[in-house]
Amino acid sequence: MKRKLSVKKLLSAALILALLTTAFAGCGTKNKDVADKKVTPGPTEKTEDKKPEDEKSNQKEPDGKDTSKPVTLTWYLHGSNVTDDKEVLEKANEYLKEKINVTLKPIWGTWGDFDENVVLSIQGQDPVDIYFTCSWSADEYNSYARKGAWMRLDDPKNNLIEKYATDLWKQLPEVLIHGATIPGKDGMGVYAIPGYKDLATQNCWDLNMNLMKKYGYTEDDIKNTDYYGFGDILKTVKEGEGKNFYPLLVEAAVLERMVTNSIVVAGDSGTNNLLSYYIDPKDVAAEGSYGNKILSKFETDEYKKFAEKTREYFNAGYIDPAMGNPKQANDVRSAKQLTGEYLIGTQSYALGYEAQAGKERGIEVAMVPCTPPYVDTTSSQGAMMAVSSSSKNPERAVMFLNLLNTDPYLMTLLNYGVEGTHYKMEDNMVNFLDKRDDYVPWTNGMGNITLLPPQKEQGADFLDRFKKYYGAAKSIPILGYCFDSTPVETEMGSLSNVAAEYALSLDAGTIDPKQKLPEFIQKLKDNGIDKVVEAANKQLTDYLAKTK
């Protein structure tokens, strides 16, 4: 029986996931036979309670697995800051050799190089077995599944999940399962393993509180204004820190969404989104200023106002010019975050990140939300691992992903490093050591974070707060909608090229919107943006009619 999605109340964790069993029809399917699941963490064994030797002895080889042949798996990750993985891989590969006869060969993609290099890797059919993918990266999950880059993992003819990953699949919340179920090249199905991490989206202003306090400011000075009121604060700190200091450290595309109250439309063009859906920043479950309508991102009054203010801030010396250069932006931003060379930054937030960031940067970090946390389609596809369709060892790749996402020892080792080298355990919590600086993968990009012991900065009750925080998230009115761009594939390709020429520079303020924005909009229209918007809205209307 279909159930109507209530969007007017604050939903409990159990209710959200029960309703989401039917909600993800736009990207997935309606499955009345799947049992509802709550947002609850998986196994939480502490690393000091279960040593590798004990873990090995308690792991059983599932029936039907042939691991007699040794296999090397190449694994392409995102968001990494890894300069020395030797000791970690020695221990991981020793463990994996015994478990599934696998040697792991990671490619540590960074925030700066991933988008460009991963596309080249896929196009060149590099010998990569597992790729990070999601709703917002250049190898966007939905579009690359349609292109045939990802292997269907629940293919009825060869169901790799059923054969090799039932343990993993049983512990995933339904919101993630349905978010992963999409129309791909081989039909409706699952084309990547979703990471069990933050289940909601919340963008925040990332504050360097050391500098805020140095100049007499508090969090309230940010909470009580908005982006358009930052000018005096930025001016004061810029003058105090000098001309080579840029107080506003932005991930430009995230900045635009934070300021305009727009969100990523699932199925949109990868890194340079073309479409916007506007939410109500006070009540994300209510319809926004345009109602349930998809718009051309760069043609709205909100975008024009944002671009003009950002240009003003750039001209005043508040934004580093590197933020408008796609080859420099992410690396420069990451480096300046780590050294605390900023006043106000942008952050796609995960619960507890301020504690981790403060530890890594050696400063006090605070987060000021732009909206309450909300559940949308893209958050369910926020970090995933796809098996490449050109992999020569897809069975072993799925075995590895199953083990990684169900084994606390392996997940902790690959995320946090070697106990005694990269961290030590204190009161059942992780306290990082200096060597950790050489090994910092992106935790939320790897998999099931509920297997990890809490960090000292997070507190012993982190998993309880995890459940409460994400369980309280409201769902947006178009939850489950996913744009299928197949009917306008030609237009999307041309428009993506146009956006690559203008979008980042406008979002970062490095070009003048009075001149370049009209020029950009005209090129979008010349290349079919109106046709794309019309197709997106028709699909949305049809989707909402089916889910009422």
Rounded CA gap, 105 and 93, in Å?
A: 9
- Residue 4: inside a domain: no
- Strand bridging mode 203-208 / 365-369: antiparallel
DSSP for 361-394?
Answer: HTS-EEEEESS--EE-HHHHTSSEEEEBTT-S-H
Query: For residue 441, what is the DSSP state?
Result: -
Length of the chain: 548
| Backbone phi, psi, residue 525, to 5° | -65, -40
Helix axes 489-508, 529-547, angle to 10 degrees: 100
Q: Dihedral sign, CA of 251, 277, 7, 199?
A: negative
Q: Dihedral sign, CA of 160, 163, 167, 172?
A: positive
Which residues are bridge partners to 279 per DSSP?
A: 287
Q: What one-letter code names the amino acid at 14?
A: A
Provide the pLDDT for residue 27. 55
| Backbone phi, psi, residue 321, to 5° | -55, -25
Domain that holds residue 72: 45-197+379-473
- Residue 466: inside a domain: yes
Rounded CA gap, 92 and 79, in Å?
A: 20
Phi-psi region of 362 (alpha: psi -120 to 50; beta: other; left: phi over 0): left
- Strand bridging mode 187-190 / 374-375: unpaired
Quick check: helix, strand or coil at residue 234? helix
Rounded CA gap, 442 and 350, in Å?
A: 12
Helix axes 301-315, 513-526, angle to 10 degrees: 140
Domain count, the chain: 1
Rounded CA gap, 548 and 4, in Å?
A: 6
- Residue 465: inside a domain: yes
Provide the pLDDT for residue 35. 30
Nearest CA among 406, 329, 325 for reference residue 43: 406
Answer yes or no: are the C-beta atoms of 467 and 369 closer than 8 Å. no
- Residue 144: inside a domain: yes
- Residue 192: inside a domain: yes
Longest dimension (CA), the chain: 67
Q: What is the pTM of this model?
A: 0.76
Non-local (6+) Cβ contacts of 57 within 8 A are none
| Backbone phi, psi, residue 161, to 5° | -65, -45
- Residue 426: inside a domain: yes
Q: Strand runs (DSSP E) across 436-544, as ranges?
A: 439-440, 474-475
Non-local (6+) Cβ contacts of 302 within 8 A are 260, 261, 262, 278
Provide the pLDDT for residue 64. 61
Q: Dihedral sign, CA of 296, 297, 298, 304?
A: positive
Answer yes or no: are the C-beta atoms of 189 and 436 closer than 8 Å. no
Question: How many Cα neighbours within 13 Å face the side chain of 375?
Answer: 31
Which residues are bridge partners to 107 per DSSP?
A: 76
Answer yes or no: are the C-beta atoms of 77 and 486 closer than 8 Å. no
Quick check: helix, strand or coil at residue 63? coil
Q: What one-letter code names the amino acid at 102?
A: V
Rounded CA gap, 337 and 328, in Å?
A: 14
- Residue 256: inside a domain: no
Nearest CA among 111, 51, 382 for reference residue 249: 111
- Residue 538: inside a domain: no
Instruction: Please give the structure tokens belonging to residue 501.
Output: 């020429």
Query: For residue 437, what is the DSSP state?
Result: G
Q: What one-letter code names the amino acid at 53?
A: E
Per-residue pLDDT of the chain (548 residues; tens, 9 = 90+): 333 333 333 333 333 443 333 333 445 443 333 233 333 333 333 343 344 444 443 444 545 688 999 999 999 999 999 999 999 999 999 999 999 999 999 999 999 899 999 999 999 999 999 999 998 899 999 999 999 999 999 999 999 999 999 999 999 988 888 889 988 999 999 999 999 988 889 999 999 999 999 999 999 999 999 999 999 999 999 999 999 999 999 999 999 999 999 999 998 987 789 999 999 999 999 999 999 999 999 999 999 999 999 999 999 999 999 999 999 999 999 999 999 999 999 999 989 899 889 988 999 999 999 999 998 988 889 999 999 999 999 999 999 999 999 999 999 999 999 999 999 999 999 999 999 999 999 999 999 999 999 999 889 999 899 888 988 889 899 988 989 998 999 999 999 999 999 999 999 999 999 999 999 999 999 999 999 999 999 999 999 998 77
CATH number at residue 431: 3.40.190.10
Question: How many Cα neighbours within 13 Å face the side chain of 403?
Answer: 29
